[in-house]
Each structure stands twice: as structure tokens, then as C-alpha cells.
Structure 1
């Protein structure tokens, strides 16, 4: 008995020690103030009223729960960039806490330990914990849905089924890929019940109906959002090389993947390590199946891990297949809501092999060293990138502040540029114009969140504004814009009187021509 207590205390110290280390790691990434387009969208949105927030999200391509919870959070902790980043770290910390508590209770000390190490070391966890978006919250809710699906199957207690339903609804209201992940959790739950517990199908269907009823209030917005995606969504069609990137992403440095022009050869060493990790994990899978074959409890864990992998793969394959056959709707970061399933599946398999065997110790050490290599690379890259972004953003704002006055407006030509997202947050009292090239009815609604006025010609700018400021990504030459139609059009109305290169961006100051001469 004492040996069991000593073992339990040892794991408790180890698990909660990792929990505090992981919490410090994730929070340490949140103390920088630069932000990119999607983050600026979130920042601006949560600074508006609840009514406005609901109106805009109904015309967005994401459900509203994340924005609602973040808005409530700002009443207590403010809406600074750092405070909003910390909100994204909290769900990842919650995932780790699940590892120390619920996962430990359900699957044992070794699974909990493996899960915590994976969550802490995986680079994507760092990304999700520092970006002002809904991905970490979606991951937490999908993981809770999967855990309570397992618990509900084991007990069919009302309390467990209610928790399963509520966490599934929370996931569905946070991100559509979380909704898709939850759909496959329900689907696989149904299949398992039909095979093994057919007598329990009635309560399952009853609570499934409750889930559908709970999601009905948002379903009225879904057709419009689907139409928006079909008409004007920004995602490019997947390429064959993207399949390699999809495999790499859970272990990836997000910023590398954003640089789509970078040749895959640049990541050759990373892909090699990933292949080694895959081979080692295959060894773990084979060993775990052999070692747990006669153990009912361990065998049940392995079956659950298989279902987690299956839910993960079905969600991905559905999104990727739809992107190929119909409309591109998948980018790698949309994988985040379901990554908790993938990581827990790996942890269960790792915990199921004999850790005392020398060859298993070597295999596990190599696997965690590979993940640690990816983790360190991402952390160092993220730190350098954060410093660069803060420096550039500061210089851009300084340039604008020195030149803006009541006769100056801001002008944009790209609906998804850094400038249209960030600049209005720093200059909320200035006029902001966005030049759009088509009707783009959904983009016009989308732009309401940035208080940008859509125009179809640069001549539509209010003539009381004699000066304009423009921020854009760096040009290949000294022209105003890469789009020739814009270049011709803008010089019809404005002269370039100042131009400054700022480490990858160009800031222009324009002056209105006197067309009456």
C-alpha cells in the first residue's frame, strides 16, 4: 500500500511540476504587442458592443462563442493585446490540467505524463496559446467532448451524457472544424453503441437530439456563411505538396508554413526527423498491441485511441476532399481544434508499452527528443519573429503619427492586408478607405468591423482629405501597387510625396493633385 502511495505521490509531483513549467512556457509567449490580420480582426471586434459583435460574427465564417467569452473576459482583464493573448493561453493550460486530473483518472499516470509532455513540447501548442484566435479554446472543447463520450459510453449516467452534450455544443459554437470533429465523435459513438451496447441507443439518440436543438439558434446563420465561402473565400486550392505540409503541421513551426513560396527542400531535415518519429511510433503501436492483447483494461484504452485517431483522420479527410472536389476550405491551422484527439491517441499508445524494457526506453527517448527539437526551434523562431514584428509595427505607426492630421485619410487596396486590420486600431478617429474591385457583398459586411469605407475608384475619396497614407507589403519596384490598374488609377488623383521602406513593408504618403489646373 505504501509503495502504491509513494508511486502516486511521485507522479503527482511530476505531473503538477510539468503543469507549472508548461504554464510558464505558454504565458511567456504572450507578452508581445504586434499582431497580424486575423488577430487585429479579433481585437477590433471585442472592443465593440455585444449586439455589434453578434451582427458581425453572423456575417463572418466562424461561430460566436469564442468572441462572446473573450468579450466577457475583457470586462475583468481589459482588452490590451497582452491580456487577449493570455486568454488564448488559458485553454491550453486547461488542456494540461485535464491531463493532471481527468485523463489521469481515466487512463492512468503514464498516459497523463505522456500527454502532458506532448502538449508542452508540440510547437503548435505554443502557436495556439499565443495567437488571439479561437483555436486553443476549440481544442479544449473537442477534447472534453471526446473524453465525456468515452465516459458516457462506460457509465451512461445522465450527468456524463449532459456534460458530453454541453462540451460538444461549446465546441460546435467555437469553430466549424470543431463542429466537424464533434460530428465524427458522435458518429463513431453511434457505431460503437450499435456494435456493443445496442440497448443504450435510445438515450444516445435522445441526447443527440438535444445537441441538435441546442445548435438550432446558430443554424439560421449557416446558409449565409456557406454562401460567403462559396462566393468569395480567400483559401487557395490545395497542392500536392500540401499533403506533406499537413503531415508536418502538428510538429511544425507555423511561420514556416505561412511562407508558401519556400521550397519543401528547405524543410528536408525536419521531414527526415518526422519520418524517424513515424517509424518509432509504428514500433510503439505494434508493441502496445502485443503487450495489451490479454489485458481487458489496456485493450479498451487502445480501442479508444484508435477511435480518436479515426475521428481526427475523418475530419481532415472530409475537409481536404471537399477542398479538392468543390471549394477550398482548409488551411493547416484549422487542424488545431482536433489536435487534442491526435495527441491523446499518441499518449495512450506510448503509455501502453513496457517502459522498463531498454529498447522501449530508447524509442521513447528518441521520440521526445525529436519533439523537443521542433519545440525549441519554434520557440526561438517565434521569439525572433515577435521582436521583428514589434519593431516593424512601431516604425510604421511612428511614420504615420508624424504625418497624420485632420486632412489625412488612410487608403488600402487589399481586403486582407496588415494595414487595414491594424492601422484603424491605432488611428480610430481617422477616415479609412478600402478600394475594392467588385461588388463583393460579403466583404463589404466584413469590412464594417474595421470601419473602412468601401470605394470602387480612388476618386471616390472625400475631396476634403488632401493627403493619404498607405501601408503595404514591399514592392518589387517603386510603383505604388503591384496591380497595374491601381497604379494607373491612383496617379490620376494623387502624387507620391514620401516613401519609406520598413523591413518588408512600404509606407507611402500621397498628396491630392490639383485637377482644376
Structure 2
């Protein structure tokens, strides 16, 4: 019996190690897309400037100032910034070996870790130079500690619950929404089901309000600003697909009577509420929600699967674990092919032979963030502006009507745009465009034109 337990325990560590290595293997490349280029440019500013710039954008500051501090220790490079996100992924997996295994058992922890890795795009977000992965960690730990507090009444769980909620809220605006839902559930549960928790919950509410108060006014400004200028124009079809998938999985889990308990109900509400709120706001008020924002609750989803399959037959659980292992391998291969994008490397090999530092780039969409990162010595002109563009030090934003006067007559000019972006009339009227090359970056393809006056 003891031998069996040791073997099962070793299996948990093997799974953790392999899944961690999958993520680590993805950092050794030099590919970035617009949002990542924004991150890399932003952290070049000092700490106070980072916070000021973020006040005009839709991001709380914790991830960016933490990443900047990390880079000041280990260096500013793409693998280092990717490694910071990988640490968040490893931390999320490690919950399976620590909190989850201790309180819910080895089998639950194993299914949890395998599900974390098998969630579509999980490895993709694990190396994104964005706040998603650390948001997943903080939201997952916040949920877990809130659940343990409701079940065990432990003061330590309550304290960790509040601290991780604050960390999540300062990391991403949808992580704020996620922990807001968690707090609402905990409050309702305390006042309706367990009066012994009320005093601690009230103190927790006060603590979270005081702790987040410094960012309340920037948040209100960001929300007002985004409502008028956010790039999304309507409900994203993928967000509906993700929501329906969550509803179906939740319904299947709840068909088993033994699953209609606090951990599973709490998880389902936490997962679906953020999507329902996002979809309602997007459909009836202002488009502000896309599917990838729901990734902040992916750790809770992994817990839902682990809780929901806890009491199924051993044979079926083994089959599930084998299936999750296969999906993890497929995800690792697919994400590796995506991250080690040969299209960009081949493009730079060709383009470096014809570009010179004296050339000028002009843009009418977000493509400016990509090539301004790879060619920092060149002149980069963008024909539109947002307040947070100041994060890019080498971008000059001008009025589109001034474009013809801004370009020297004999200068070599490159016009770059997303292939889905319609070429503006003011570009066509000022230049003859000759398509020279194209490259794929993240999920988009960009065209590079030689622009002749």
C-alpha cells in the first residue's frame, strides 16, 4: 500500500515536471506580436512612467512593474520576459502539488494539472508577454482559498483569499471581475448559509476596498475611455462558443447528483458569471469582451473538471487521464510550431538585405508596434494616435493630412499593414504601392509595400 502511494506521488511530480518543461521549451525564440511589443516597450520606461502610461490604457500595473523588476535582475530580452510568464504557469501547476493535493487528494491534483495543460491555448498564454498567466494563478489561488475558507473557517485561508484577490485585481481588469464574482458568492454564502463567517467576510470586504482604492479612479477613467475607443465592434463568435461549451460541460457534471455540492457549484458560477457579464456588456452596452479574457478562470475550470470527475469509476478516470495526456502532447507540438514561427524569420532574412536605417516606415494600424520593435533605428510614422502610444518611444504619431509633408522626396518608404486592414484613401493618394513581402505574426498576416511618391 505504501509503495502504491509513493508511486502515485512520484507520478504527480513527473506530470508537473513534464508540463513545466513543455512551457519552458517555448521561450527560446524572438517572435513578438503587437501587444507583446507594447509590453517590451512599456517596461523600458521608469516605474512612475509605467504607471502613468497604464492609467490611459486598460491595464492595472502589477504585471508590468513586476516584469520590469524581474528584467532589471535578469536582463531585458524576449526569452527572459517569456520566462516570467512561464513562472506563472509553473506556479499554477504547482497548486496541484501543494494546496489542491493537501486538501482535495492526489487524484484530484493529478486531474487538475493535466487539465491545466490540456486547455486549448494554455501553453500559448504560458509564454505570452502579457498579464494573463499570472492572472490565472492569482484567480485560481483566490478561488481555492475562498473555497477552503467557506468549508474550514480558517483565518489563514481568509487572509490568503484577500491578498490573492488584490493581486489578481491589480493584474488584469477581467481578473478583477473574476475575484469580484468570487467575493459576491462568498458574501451571499456567509449571510445565507453560515453566519459564523459574516464578521470575517465584512473585514475582507473592507480590506479589498481599501487595498484597491488607489486604482479605482484610473479604472473608472480607463472604462470610460475604452467605451468610446475599444477596437472590438461587436460580439466575438468565439466568445459565444466558449460560453456554450462551458454551459454544456457544467450541465454534464451536474447531471450526477453527487456533484451538486459547494465546490462544483462555486466553480461553475465563478466560470460562467464572468462570461455572462462580458457578453451582456458587449451585446447591450459596449463591445469590451473577447474569449481570451475568460482565460483568467481557466484554473478554476481545471478544478471543476477535477472535482466533477472525483467520484467516477476508476476505469473511466484512467481513460480520462490518458486522453488528457494525449491532448497535452498535441498542444505542446502545436504551440511549439506556432511559437517558433518560421514565417517571421524567413521574412527578416529577406528584408534585412534591402532595408537600411535611413528608411521610413508608415502605418495606419497596429502593425507599427511590431516592426518598430525589430527596427528601432528607423523612422516610424503612425497616422493615428491613442494616449498609451507614448509607451513606444520611437513612434511618431501625426495627422494623416500632414503625411505628404512629412516624407522627404528621396526617402525610401515602407508601408506596412495587416492584410485585413483596408488601405486608406490618404495612403493611396500619396503613394504608389508595390507589394514586396509579407509575414505572419501571431494570428495575423502583414503586408509590406514599397511606397513610391
TM-score normalized by the length of structure 2: 0.90
Helix, strand or coil for the counterpart of 1:471? Answer: strand
CA distance in 1 between counterparts of 2:242 and 2:159 reads 38
Q: 1:405 to 1:129 in 2, by over 3 A?
A: closer
* Residue 379 in structure 1 maps to residue 332 in structure 2: yes
Partner residue, 1:253: none
Partner residue, 1:506: 447
- Tell me the CA shift for residue 460 of structure 1: 4.2
Q: 1:246 to 1:401 in 2, by over 3 A?
A: farther
Partner residue, 1:219: 216
Partner residue, 1:469: 414
Equivalent residues in 2 for 1:147-162, closer than 5 Å: 147-162=144-159
* Paired residues of 1:16 and 1:100 also in contact (CA < 8 A): yes
Partner residue, 1:337: 296
Partner residue, 2:207: 210
Q: 1:217 to 1:460 in 2, by over 3 A?
A: farther
Equivalent residues in 2 for 1:249-268, closer than 5 Å: none
* Paired residues of 2:243 and 2:275 also in contact (CA < 8 A): no
* Residue 163 in structure 1 maps to residue 160 in structure 2: yes
Q: Which residue, 354, 358, 362 being the options, matches 1:411? A: 362
* Residue 435 in structure 1 maps to residue 383 in structure 2: yes
* Paired residues of 2:118 and 2:331 also in contact (CA < 8 A): no
- Tell me the CA shift for residue 217 of structure 1: 0.7
CA distance in 2 between counterparts of 1:306 and 1:497 reads 58
CA distance in 1 between counterparts of 2:8 and 2:449 reads 59
* Residue 447 in structure 1 maps to residue 389 in structure 2: yes
Bigger radius of gyration, 1 or 2?
Answer: 1
- Tell me the CA shift for residue 394 of structure 1: 4.9
In terms of mean alpha carbon deviation, does 462-471 or 311-320 score higher? 462-471
Q: 1:111 to 1:230 in 2, by over 3 A?
A: same
* Residue 77 in structure 1 maps to residue 106 in structure 2: no
- Tell me the CA shift for residue 474 of structure 1: 4.3
- Tell me the CA shift for residue 366 of structure 1: 4.9
CA distance in 1 between counterparts of 2:10 and 2:330 reads 28
Q: 1:396 to 1:117 in 2, by over 3 A?
A: same
* Paired residues of 2:435 and 2:447 also in contact (CA < 8 A): no
Helix, strand or coil for the counterpart of 2:386? Answer: helix
Partner residue, 2:61: 64
CA distance in 1 between counterparts of 2:387 and 2:375 reads 21
- Cα deviation per residue 1:297-316 (whole Å; 9 max; x = unaligned)? xx8xx421211111111111
Aligned pairs, number: 446
* Residue 351 in structure 1 maps to residue 288 in structure 2: no
Partner residue, 1:134: 131
Q: 1:210 to 1:47 in 2, by over 3 A?
A: same
* Residue 237 in structure 1 maps to residue 234 in structure 2: yes
- Cα deviation per residue 1:224-263 (whole Å; 9 max; x = unaligned)? 2112211110113115675225445x8xxxxxxxxxxxxx
CA distance in 1 between counterparts of 2:407 and 2:80 reads 37
* Paired residues of 2:116 and 2:122 also in contact (CA < 8 A): yes
Helix, strand or coil for the counterpart of 2:416? Answer: strand
- Tell me the CA shift for residue 450 of structure 1: 1.9
* Paired residues of 1:412 and 1:471 also in contact (CA < 8 A): yes
Equivalent residues in 2 for 1:357-376, closer than 5 Å: 361-362=315-316, 364-368=317-321, 370-372=323-325, 374-376=327-329
CA RMSD of aligned residues (A): 2.7
CA distance in 2 between counterparts of 1:391 and 1:501 reads 9
Q: 1:422 to 1:286 in 2, by over 3 A?
A: same
CA distance in 1 between counterparts of 2:342 and 2:328 reads 22
Q: Which residue, 489, 494, 499 being the options, matches 2:429? A: 489
Partner residue, 1:313: 272
- Cα deviation per residue 1:444-478 (whole Å; 9 max; x = unaligned)? 31221123222222224254872222233448xxx
- Cα deviation per residue 1:10-44 (whole Å; 9 max; x = unaligned)? 33211111111111111112222111111111111
Q: Which runs of 4+ in 1 moved over 6 A?
A: none
CA distance in 1 between counterparts of 2:348 and 2:417 reads 10
CA distance in 1 between counterparts of 2:243 and 2:193 reads 34
Equivalent residues in 2 for 1:260-279, closer than 5 Å: 278=249
CA distance in 2 between counterparts of 1:93 and 1:446 reads 31
